């Protein structure tokens, strides 16, 4: 059984974690690393060549081309619609969903100096940062975790905003890291297995999926699909299960964090279909809220105007 993944240290570690329950079922699993466009081009802004799909798209093409039996992703990097014939087969229990601020001087978001340079490649994080600290200089940063941290240590950035889950998985514990009170990207903190719909791996994966995480991920992806948003829109969402009740919160912001619309819903969810309906229903509420429609239209227009 060949599992495709990106070639970064974090991606390989995530693939090994996904391989573990498959090996426990007696499968001989081989991890096959691939180089994606997003890995080769570490300078251009992600949204300039397709956003997070620049990572997952190359892997999906290889999977459809028969180079593997399944693929392992950070689920936040997978567009809300997989390529035809592919689907999310399984998810591991969700790790930390939030973001952390790491700085050279041990500063918090509150104590960073005016004009301090903060690195992130996410429009969502940029908008959330500027909402709290409009005087910061938020600049694009690319590269793996080690590369980003090295750039900060070299003085190119005063601070970085990073996913807590990636740091934890890599065993990196920067001193003074501050957990940020931001809603995360949809599906942040979730490792997923993608497989052909008609494959034995797909059905095995579904039987092994962590149920609570799976239902939350389905709701978050259904919300994204309903709105038709990608990485170019400052959008955040997080679902959680409280016993059998799914609570889904989401937020859209303008790129500079000056305006935002935040909505939520809750209700009983016990199946994939119910999770799909919950996400779609919240998406429709955003589409019926004039302020949210305006922010979405402005973000999409801005994305179309980028080089």
Instruction: Please tell me the distance from the alpha carbon of residue 60 to that of residue 216, in angstroms, as a whole number.
Output: 23
Q: Measure CA 209 to chain center.
A: 18
Of 69, 77, 158, 254, the active-site residue reads 77
Instruction: Please tell me the distance from the alpha carbon of residue 139 to that of residue 112, in angstroms, as a whole number.
Output: 15
77 catalytic per annotation: yes
41-59 burial code (b ≥16 CB/10 A, e <16): eeeebbbeebbbbbbbbbb
Instruction: Please tell me the distance from the alpha carbon of residue 100 to that of residue 180, in angstroms, as a whole number.
Output: 5
How are the residues of the chain apportioned to helix, strand and coil, as percentages rounded to the nearest 5? 40, 25, 35
| C-alpha pair distances (Å), 223 with each of 79, 238, 293, 301 | 12, 10, 14, 20
CB 226 within 8 A of CB 280: yes
Positions marked active-site: 77
């Amino acid at each position: 059984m060949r599992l495709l993944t990106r070639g970064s240290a974090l991606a390989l570690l995530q693939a090994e974690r996904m391989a573990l329950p498959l090996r426990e079922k007696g499968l001989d699993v081989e991890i096959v690393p691939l180089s994606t466009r997003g890995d080769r081009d570490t300078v251009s802004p992600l949204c300039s060549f397709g956003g997070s799909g620049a990572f997952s798209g190359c892997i999906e093409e290889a999977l459809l081309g028969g180079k593997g039996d399944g693929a392992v992703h950070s689920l936040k990097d997978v567009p809300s619609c997989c390529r035809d014939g592919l689907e999310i087969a399984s998810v591991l229990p969700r790790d930390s969903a939030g973001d952390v601020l790491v700085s050279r001087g041990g500063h918090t978001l509150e104590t960073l100096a005016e004009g301090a340079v903060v690195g992130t490649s996410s429009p969502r994080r940029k908008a959330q940062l500027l909402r709290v600290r409009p005087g910061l200089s938020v600049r694009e940063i690319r590269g793996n975790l080690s590369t980003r941290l090295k750039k900060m240590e070299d003085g190119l950035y005063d601070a970085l905003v990073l996913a807590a889950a990636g740091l934890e998985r890599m065993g990196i514990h920067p001193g003074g890291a501050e957990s940020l009170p931001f809603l995360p990207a949809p599906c942040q903190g979730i490792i997923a297995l993608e497989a052909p719909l008609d494959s034995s791996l797909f059905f095995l994966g579904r039987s092994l999926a962590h149920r609570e995480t799976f239902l939350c991920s389905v709701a978050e992806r259904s919300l994204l699909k309903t709105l038709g948003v990608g990485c170019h829109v400052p959008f955040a969402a997080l679902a959680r299960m409280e016993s059998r009740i799914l609570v889904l919160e989401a937020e859209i912001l303008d790129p500079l964090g000056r305006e935002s619309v935040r909505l939520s819903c809750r209700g009983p969810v016990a199946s994939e279909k119910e999770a799909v309906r919950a996400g779609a229903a919240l998406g429709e509420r955003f589409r019926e809220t004039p302020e949210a429609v305006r922010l979405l239209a402005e973000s999409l227009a801005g994305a179309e105007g980028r080089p």
